[in-house]
Amino acid sequence: MSDGEQTEAEASDDADADPEAAAAEPEPAGDAIFSHYGVASTVLGVLSVAAVVLGAIVWSDHRDAVAERTYLSRVMATAAEWAGVLINMNAGNVDASLQRLHDGTVGELNADFDAAVQPYRQVVEKLQSRSTGRIEAVAIDTVHRDLNPQPDGAGPPRSIVTTKLPAFASRSDSVLVVATSVSENAGAKPKTVHWNLRLDVSDVDGKLMISQLESVR
């Protein structure tokens, strides 16, 4: 047997002895293709999860923002309603108005209510006036301002009460209320009074109540 024939016979014997090894030779190309598809699928999966998470975060933030705006609208409405009772108080409804105002307060303002509103009551009873008030503007006081109280004799009576947030209140927001009222005193010309009030509105078990009253310039 020649050398060439011997070599071909050995190759043939090797293939017959290990047919699985011969069949496995093209597999590396298949592994490479599977690897590319696997990486692409993994990347797409990660991107999909990230998109879902981002969407959930955006939706949660949007929902929280809407809830906050709704809550602050309730806060401003509460302040405006309470202030409306105060600026429309007159000799004919003073007792009923004061009771309604007191029922809407909480904390130290509630405890010291009589002292806090005494200046308002004295003016009404003394002048025997009939007032008609109107709310001009309401805004959340989100930034602390150096609000100086009105000096004595200028505009509505001073009423400053330092109020601690009740322990059972979850939050408190400050509201600025601008209003005007026309006071018709007996035997005198009607007088327009400008009101600038700062009210703290506290959330007590879901109920909004006034926890501070202040006349400001």
If one counts every other C-beta atom within 10 angstroms of the C-beta of residue 33, the result is 10
Helix (H, G, I), strand (E, B) or coil at 174: strand
Q: With contact defined as beta carbons under 8 Å apart, do 124 and 94 qualify?
A: yes
Judged by DSSP in three states, 173 sits in strand
Beta bridge partners of 140: 175
| Type of residue found at 201 | V
Residue 45 burial (C-beta neighbours within 10 Å; 0-12, 13-18, 19+): exposed
Helix (H) / strand (E) containing 117: helix 113-127
Q: Mind listing the pLDDT tens digit for each residue in 75-110? A: 999 999 999 999 998 888 889 999 999 999 998 899
> For residue range 145-168, what is the model confidence (pLDDT) as tens digits?
333 444 444 455 444 344 455 666
Q: What is the pLDDT of residue 165?
A: 58
